[in-house]
Amino acid sequence: MQQTSGRTVSVHLTHGGEYFGLLGPYEVDEGWWSSTAPVVERVSGELGVPVLVLRLAYALKDGSSGHGGHVVYHVEALERPARAVPRQVAPDVAALLGPAERRAGWATAVGLREALDWAEDALAGAGRPAVGRPEQVRTWNLSGLFRFRTSDGGEAWLKVINPAFNAREGQVIELLGSVDPTLVPTVLDSEPAYGRLLLDHVAGEDLWCPSADDVLAVVPRLVAAQAALAADGRAAAAGLRDRTLPALVARVHALLDRLVAERAIPPGTGADGPGERPDAQPHARLTAAELVAARTLTARLPVLVRELTDCGLPDTLVHGDFHPGNWRSDGTRAVIVDYADSAFGHPALDGLRPRQFVDEERWAQVSEVWVRAWRESVPGSAPERALTLVEPLFHLAHAVRYQEFLDHIETSERPYHEGDPVTEIRKALACVSRERVG
């Protein structure tokens, strides 16, 4: 599942108010653009000073979405680099590195320093002060992830997200943990208004290729917790974002209205709004025929919602991105991580998510375990039918979510998700086509 090939990178280097030019290109391991650890290691080694990646400046076309090719970052040196010479900033570079609408707080030198200082203060207050500098592991348009070594020999993790379009992860973890505290990571501190979360280390590794035992260790426990939170009403009362099926249908209609309007704007005129780059990806727009098909599908959604409701599964806390890469285990304890997409909605949206990440044999087991768990939790329900019915809505839900990403990230970060809403709508249309053929 995980690609391992590398990428080449160049960096615009700054320190404070000084600019030190475009450095590189360098070859680095790990091809994912968001994987910043090898970039930090390579650039700091070249300069002899610690650095942090602030953001992706742009990616050249020879890379796939989010992976490989050649990418350019804005990197901030934490100390003035003696091996680099400050220079004049050209107007185009000044525009590239200057302030931008919708820039994430952790993508600026000031905002990143504030987040790291907050985490260090929180660790000190917990009696586990940080030792050495934090390790930047991941930075991209949706989040930043940093590892701290602590004085007790342990580790802690700072995660930063945009609170404007993400769940309050600390709240979600507390809610789920109230039912099964062993299913969630330990929250050391959180600052929801700024999208900051400090977590204790979870031993083990991410289960990108889960075994049969891993599935049994994760899936039934999530179902049991979701069923309990639905039964006692706490999920409904928790103030989670509304992603129930009727609310989702309304958002799908709004997205299609928007795509129709954008299609009417001539390519190259900045259809995505002021300051956006021209329409460089024609595949990111639905054809006229696809829009007609999508409208036909959305007209059927109220019937589909009634059929799903008749399956008897309750609305509850949904993880939102329940794939095996967000399951973590050391062989004795399995934990679910990454709750930024969590909401109040239909659990089949979680149930179908692993299918995109496992082979057919493992998916057969995951689906069987998920179905059995819901039958036991809600006698008389029809989870197997819900898992089949939900597929078009599953893809439409992801289209809506990806559009949320695009609406809240700055222009330079759009290549991560530029074509994803349309891709997911096409997958939903493909589901309908398979049903007709079948």
Mean pLDDT of residues grouped by 10 in the chain (438 residues)?
A: 72 96 94 95 96 93 76 96 94 95 95 98 98 96 97 98 96 98 98 97 97 98 98 97 97 95 65 38 79 96 98 98 98 97 98 98 98 98 98 98 95 88 96 70
Per the domain annotation, does 19 fall within a domain?
A: yes
Residue found by looking up tokens 């809600």 in the block: 378
pLDDT reported for residue 262: 84
Dihedral sign of CA atoms 30, 33, 37, 38 in order:
positive
Q: Which amino acid is at 197?
A: L
Strands 70-77 and 7-15, by their bridges, are parallel
3-state class percentages of the chain: helix first, strand second, coil last, to nearest 5? 45, 20, 35
User: 347 to each of 269, 321, 422, how far by Cα in Å?
Assistant: 41, 11, 24
2 domain residue, yes or no: no
Alpha-carbon distance values, 211 to 181, 217, 374 (Å): 23, 10, 21
Q: Are 390 and 308 in contact (CB under 8 A)?
A: yes
Looking at residue 180, what is its pLDDT? 98
Last residue of a domain, one of 149, 174, 201: 201
- What is the extent of the structural domain holding 140? 107-201
Say how many C-beta atoms besides its own lie within 10 A of residue 2's C-beta. 11
Angle between helix 212-231 and helix 360-377 axes, rounded to 10 deg: 30
The Cα 413–Cα 104 span in angstroms is 10
Q: Is residue 393 part of a domain?
A: yes
* Domain-embedded: residue 15: yes
Identify whether residues 195 and 341 lie together within a single domain.
no
197 and 127 housed in the same domain:
yes
**Half-sphere exposure of residue 74: CA atoms within 13 angstroms, side-chain side:** 26
Residue 41 one-letter amino acid: E
**Residue 321 domain-assigned (yes or no):** yes
Instruction: With CA atoms as reference, report the closest residue to 354 among 334, 340, 339, 369.
Output: 369
Task: Provide the 8-state DSSP code for 140.
Answer: S
Domain boundary among 137, 166, 201: 201
Specify whether 326 is located in the same domain as 231.
yes
**What is the model's pLDDT at position 40?**
97
Question: 152: which DSSP letter?
Answer: T
Which one, of 183, 437, 399, 370, lies nearest residue 301 by Cα? Answer: 399
Q: What pLDDT is attached to residue 277?
A: 38
CATH code assigned at 222: 3.90.1200
Cα Dmax for the chain: 72
Question: Residues 210, 347: one domain?
Answer: yes
* CATH assignment of the domain containing 179: 3.30.200.20
Q: What burial letters (b/e) apply to 290-301, b meaning 16+ CB within 10 Å?
A: ebebbeebbeeb
Q: How many degrees, rounded to 5, is the angle at CA 132 between CA 131 and CA 138?
A: 105
Nearest of 71, 74, 25, 72 to residue 54 by alpha carbon: 74
The per-residue b/e assignment along 235-262, b for 16 or more CB within 10 angstroms, e otherwise, is bbebebbebbbeebbebbeebbeebeee
| CA 12, chain centre distance (Å) | 26
**166 within domain boundaries:** yes
266 with 372, same domain? yes
* Same domain, yes or no: 360 and 391: yes
* Rounded Cα distance, 164 and 367, in Å: 33
Determine contact, residues 230/316, Cβ cutoff 8 Å: yes
267 and 223 fall within a common domain: yes
pLDDT of residue 6: 83
Of 77, 98, 119, the one marking the end of a domain is 98
Q: Tell me: do 119 and 228 sit in the same domain.
A: no
Same domain, 225 and 298: yes
Do 405 and 257 reside in the same domain of the chain?
A: yes
Specify the CATH number for the domain of residue 45: 3.90.79.10
**1 lies in some domain:** no
298/320 same-domain check: yes
Tell me the whole-structure pTM to 2 decimals: 0.92
Residues 183 and 240 in one domain: no
Tally of structural domains, the chain = 3
239 found inside a domain: yes
